[in-house]
Amino acid sequence: MKRVLTLLLFISAFFVIGTQNSQAQCKGFAKNVCKLELVPFTHDGNYHAAVLTEGEEAELYKTFYSGQDYRIAVCGSDNLPEIEFSVMDAAQNVLYTNKDHDFAKTWDFKLQASQQLKIVVKVPSRGDKSKDPESGCVAIMFGFKVK
């Protein structure tokens, strides 16, 4: 029984360390690669990055303030297909989707009223059933213009 518990503890520790390592790598990817997409906007100081697999999506909610110029930048690891992202308001109205803009990595905008928006990122599936789906880092970065 003690041997089984030791083995379970070891396996659990292995997965926790592996997850933390991949998250640290994704944060580095966000800092070193995706942050460059914000220029000439000023980075807001937050790094939003996660490991996603083809076919997965993630959501992020963020408050934006009226009258401020913003840029959203979304990028993914080179091994992933082009990342889709869309921005929706509280009523689920789509304000922007990069599918309509040749999968652009950035969107610049200014809101007339302060509001919380939902950003949805999706790693499309390539549809090749003979291969295992690819996984990689996906980052969402936010910038604003200093007046």
Q: What is the pLDDT of residues 35-61, one digit of tens each?
A: 999 999 999 999 999 999 999 999 999
Instruction: Report the distance separating Cα 141 and Cα 126, nearest Å.
Output: 25
Instruction: Report the distance separating Cα 132 and Cα 53, nearest Å.
Output: 10
Q: Which residue has the tokens 């070193």?
A: 32
Domain boundaries 2-144, corresponding CATH code: 2.60.120.380
Q: How confident is the model at residue 147 (pLDDT cuts 50, 70, 90)?
A: confident
